[in-house]
Amino acid sequence: MSQDETSELRAELAAAIATVRHQIEIQQMSDHYVGSGHITEDAIGELRAELSRLEEAYRDLGR
């Protein structure tokens, strides 16, 4: 993979990581308003798993 391709992929991964982190924040706030604890917990768990995969891919790209 060329350096330009790697840089582009890193930028895309960074944007995806930021998006997922923002979505986690939104989900954490929504439980307060909606009161749907289990639904929110499940959604946050899925988002955290996705965040972990994205962060791992970002780290691996630097190796």
- What does the pLDDT read at residue 33? 61
CB 47 within 8 A of CB 30: no
User: Is pLDDT at 54 greater than 70 in this prediction?
Assistant: yes
Q: What is the pTM of this model?
A: 0.84
Task: Report residue 36's pLDDT band, with 50, 70 and 90 as the boundaries.
Answer: low
CB 23 within 8 A of CB 47: yes
